Copies of this chain bind each other. A is one copy, B any other.
Amino acid sequence: MADLIGGLAAILTTLSFLPQAILVLRTRNTDSLSLVMYVMFTVGVSCWLVYGLMIASLPIILANLVTVGLAAIILSMKIINTVAFHRAASPKTI
């Protein structure tokens, strides 16, 4: 029973970033997403991946491989939008 709940927890928390990644790719809108969150989260999940490789745990490796990919998509779009916003806001040099 505990394994079932743990498995469900792993599936839900891992796949939850899929609808967010799809939404961000479809709308290109990242206004209400926190840049700090996605930097911390992507680095954190990368650490989980390294940890999984170090202790040779296939479930940890696989779950975090999926999550780091989804988090990287969301973070990339946020960075692209943040850079574009600051470029547009800075005074023209011509």
A31 to B15, CA, bound (A): 20
What residues of chain B lie closer than 8 Å to A51, measured between beta carbons? 2, 5-6, 9
Chain A interface secondary structure, helix, strand, loop or mixed?
A: helix
Report whether A47 and B8 are in contact in the complex, using a CB–CB cutoff of 8 Å: yes
Number of this chain's copies in the assembly equals 2
**A1 neighbours in B (Cβ, 8 Å):** 54
Residue tally, chain A, CB below 8 Å to B: 40
| Contacting residue for A41 out of B2, B16, B31, CB 8 A | B16
Counting from the closest, the 10 A-B pairs by CB-CB distance are A12-B44, A9-B47, A13-B44, A16-B40, A19-B36, A16-B41, A20-B37, A2-B54, A20-B34, A6-B51
